A and B are shown apart, each in its own frame.
Chain A
Amino acid sequence: MSTLAIKDLHVSIETEQGSKEILKGVTLTIKSGEIHAIMGPNGSGKSTLAATIAGHPRYKVTSGTIMLDDVDVLEMSVDERARAGLFLAMQYPVEVPGVTMTNFLRTAKTAIDGEAPKLRTWAKDVRGAMEKLKIDADFANRNVNEGFSGGEKKRVEILQMELFRPKFAVLDETDSGLDIDALRVVSDGVNRAHSENDMGTLLITHYTRILNYITPQFVHVFVDGRVAEQGGPELADELEANGYDRFLAPAQA
């Protein structure tokens, strides 16, 4: 059983107009096996939270803490965080020319486990995981994300999540731009990782659509860099019916 605890997190980015605070005190605790949905309008800081957990250099933590059990995540480099069991499924996965998926997956798995995976079982694991996510076998020979469609990139993110078996996964709008079939395939992958590995999940989404396939125990509504309201799955239903208006009106007043 692990715990990812975010406490009073303040995060800024540097812009041409100077430093701008995006997260203004976020507190969240996720335990193994829990699924938390973070919802909120565009620009509320959802993706900033995801990138900050992963350690993207653009985001500066000005105060607050992120702890993975008793380890200070903010003290770790990007790769150390991944090896400690944190995974970020990116909203816009980048293409890496000249590096094949096969080479990339094996290199990452070796780094995360601290030893090379057994050749025969690993090839089988990769093939099996690709089949379940309906990813064409030929993708293994292609360069990382090169020429993949938006939906293919998202599936490959989930493929990595299933193969690397993280303690906690942050899914940054993985559902955006997916058609209904792809959404189902991706959701199945998340549910598998959740039940097989007891993975804790932070599901960041703009829409409630994906919550038809992945059921969160906790829903947090992000507005203007803070958690404006928390509740159970019924909060998502209410957002589905009423939208974000009731959160935005007082913020603008």
Chain B
Amino acid sequence: MTNSASADQAEQVAGVEVGEARITIPGMSEEGENLATAHEETEHTHGGLGESTVKAKTGGSRADRTTSLNVADFAVPTGREEEWRFSPLKKLGRVLSDAATQTPVTLKVRNLADGVTRGELAKAQSPRGTVFSAADRAAVVGYSQTAQADYISVAADTELSEPVFLDITGEAAGHRANGHLVLEAGAHSKAVFVMEHRGSADANLNVEVIVRDGADVTVVSLQRWDDDAVHVGQQDAEVGRDAKYKHVSVTLGGEVVRMNSNVRYAAEGAEASMYGLYFADAGQHLEHRSFVDHNSPRNTSNVLYKGALQGQDARTVWVGDVLIRKAAEGTDSYEKNQNLILSDGARADSIPNLEIETGLIEGAGHASSTGRFDENHLFYLMARGIPEKEARQLVVRGFLNEIVQAIGVESIEETVQQDLENELKIAGF
């Protein structure tokens, strides 16, 4: 059996070579004038398994995508739309309808320290809606059906020594639950928010993160739903001048999870990173979409999502959009997705989209690989006396561990590691 299908990508986008290497732009002038938005279609499949598709641009700039807070601006998707073509719309129908909450999810906030306040925000009440703008049907109906948003605010100059834990629990399987959460970190504050989703619901939950100037914010979103939960959500952040934002999404539970994690910048000098870890078992559909909007100059971004799949019809999707707008000179950005297929019958789609509208950048790269175990890793470890089973365990744990380490909250890292151990037992690792 040949089962190595990994291939790091280096693709051409509008004459701009992107990939592992730093950017080189043939024939670019200093002004960066003759570089248009990429629009041509360069879809291709690679890897020996027929299980992975990687594409560059798919036509239509991310910059042209509708964002709005009006339900009327988004039709119910048919499945032919670019942003919906991988999603199981039958199962998602219940969270795409413009319907009210039947049984709300409960939110329990722990570790509300001095300088942290909890409140509620009505629809037009600032800062709600100042950062968030729905980018698809799911997000807009969730927003519009939530009259009162939950609001956690950290005062300026407050440095929290402990994370703020937000335990979000679905109380009734198959019952619609809409929600909107606003997290605001004041200027030069430092905070870690850990959202942990458990239980079951047809959950449509949006999150809006406001990172003021000089703040340092980590948002961890753990999806540990029961097997029958459905979860759609858009988690938007705007990162202020010289601020730092880290978003970590860990999706292990739920029947269908479709998460959009987005970042844009308020000014210059900011650093954003988005990490993701997902583990899909038989019948699960776990979809993650990230979008970094380099809308202003001299900011950096780094996106790394890793996934493992096992079992019949285990399905994952990652779509990573990076848009470097004309104004975003001095941008440094990188995105990567890697998937490890542990058994037959699983399918991972991985699509990095990189659009560059200015040549005056520090760097832009993307990479994607999907495959089985790297046989060379196994051979190396086994040639040192390590039995095959143990060698596989080492390789797969090493692969996933990179993201676990990015969480940075020890108690959470331990429970995620334990969950991964339980997942790996299923496939005999």
Residue numbers of A with Cβ under 8 A of B are: 54-57, 77-79, 81-83, 88, 90, 93-94, 96-99, 103-104, 107-108, 111-112, 143-144, 160, 164
Contact = CB atoms under 8 A, between A and B. Distances in A.
Interface string B388-403: 1011001101111110
B398 A108 contact: no
Contact of B382 (A77, A98, A99): A77
B375 interface: yes
A98 B377 CA distance: 12
Contacts of A81: 383
A56 to B, nearest CB: 6
Among B381, B384, B386, B387: residue with most chain A CB under 10 A: B384
B398 A98 contact: yes
B126 interface: no
A186 B375 CA distance: 28
A108 B388 contact: no
A129 B377 CA distance: 24
Contact of A111 (B380, B384, B399): B384
A164 B385 contact: yes
Given A77-B388, A79-B387, A111-B387, A96 B395 contact: yes
19 contacts: A54-B383, A57-B375, A77-B382, A77-B388, A78-B382, A81-B383, A82-B385, A94-B379, A94-B380, A96-B394, A97-B398, A98-B400, A104-B381, A107-B394, A108-B381, A111-B384, A111-B387, A112-B385, A144-B380
B376 interface: yes
Contacts of A96: 377, 380-381, 394-395, 398
Contacts of B385: 79, 82-83, 108, 111-112, 164
A99 B398 CA distance: 5
A79 B377 contact: no
| Main DSSP-derived SS at the B contact region | helix
A14 to B, nearest CB: 11
A194 B384 CA distance: 19
B68 to A, nearest CB: 41
A94 B377 contact: yes
A81 to B, nearest CB: 8
Contacts of B384: 82, 104, 108, 111-112, 160, 164
Contacts of A83: 385
A64 B41 CA distance: 54
Contact of A90 (B375, B380, B401): B380
Nearest to B405: A98
Contact of A88 (B374, B383, B388): B383
Interface in B309-343: none
Contacts of A112: 384-385
A206 B140 CA distance: 67
A79 B388 contact: yes
A90 B377 CA distance: 13
Given A98-B399, A99-B398, A93 B390 contact: no
B3 to A, nearest CB: 12
Contacts of A78: 379, 382-383
A112 B397 CA distance: 21
B118 to A, nearest CB: 38
